[in-house]
Amino acid sequence: MKSIAIIYHSRQGHTQFIAQQIQLGAAQVEQLKIDLFTAEQLMSQPELLCHYDGLIWGSPTYLGGVSGTLKQLMDATGPLWKKQAFKGKLAAGFTVSSLPAGDKQSTLISLFTFAMQHGMIWVGNPILPEQHQGVPYTQAANRLGSWSGLMAQVEHASAANAFDFGDIKTAQLFGQNFALSLSAYQGVMIT
């Protein structure tokens, strides 16, 4: 059975909520094991991730980049980079921030670069913004128009009430797309 790890940092719960929605979406695809990990859980044992076929990385956007805690975990994978232990795994990224733009793209680019350095294969977010088809903006999948990874925007409410339906739907579709991609993926020739 193929497996996905969703790895995230979340201080106030919003990024965690989106990670859970990604898990729900991925679970629509049968025959996959999907586990959630906080960055803190993996900090002293990032090698646990070697057991997974797909790795989805998530962080709140902090000052236009990944949070310090997630970066600490990324840096803790240095010894695994040396062995290229993640090479050929599928990867994707997501971020949550409070402003409509909020420099979320920089966070996704950090996650993308990290995945590329590890030799992973990046999966984006191939969803057409549904507001173009007349769906109300707050209800629309990929309303924020991000294809390189998943973006979600929060107001300051508690995590369960903070997100527009469109962002919840996007997270589930993003998870489902990643899971479908992983199911179809035959792997690359690794030397």
Ligand X SMILES: Cc1cc2nc3c(=O)[nH]c(=O)nc-3n(C[C@H](O)[C@H](O)[C@H](O)COP(=O)(O)O)c2cc1C
Write out the residues near ligand X by the rule CB under 6 A. Answer: 10-16, 60-64, 96-99, 102-103, 154
Kindly state the smallest distance separating residue 60's Cβ from ligand X, in Å.
Answer: 3
Kindly state the smallest distance separating residue 164's Cβ from ligand X, in Å.
Answer: 13
Helices (H), strands (E): how many in the chain? Answer: 7, 6
> Whose Cβ is closer to ligand X: residue 13's or residue 88's?
13
Q: ∠ CA 157-19-184 to the nearest 5 degrees?
A: 150
Tell me how crowded residue 158 is: count the other CB atoms within 10 A of its CB. 11
Q: Which tokens belong to 147?
A: 């294809």
Kindly state the smallest distance separating residue 70's Cβ from ligand X, in Å.
Answer: 10
Distance of CA 191 to the CA centre of its chain: 27
Kindly state the smallest distance separating residue 147's Cβ from ligand X, in Å.
Answer: 19
- DSSP-derived secondary structure letter, 137: G
> Whose Cβ is closer to ligand X: residue 99's or residue 188's?
99
Q: Where are the alpha helices (DSSP H) in 39-164?
A: 39-42, 68-76, 78-83, 104-117, 159-162
> Whose Cβ is closer to ligand X: residue 9's or residue 89's?
9
Dihedral (CA of 17, 86, 63, 149) sign: negative
> Whose Cβ is closer to ligand X: residue 61's or residue 177's?
61
Kindly state the smallest distance separating residue 29's Cβ from ligand X, in Å.
Answer: 25
> Whose Cβ is closer to ligand X: residue 64's or residue 126's?
64
- Nearest residue to the partner ligand X, using Cβ: 102
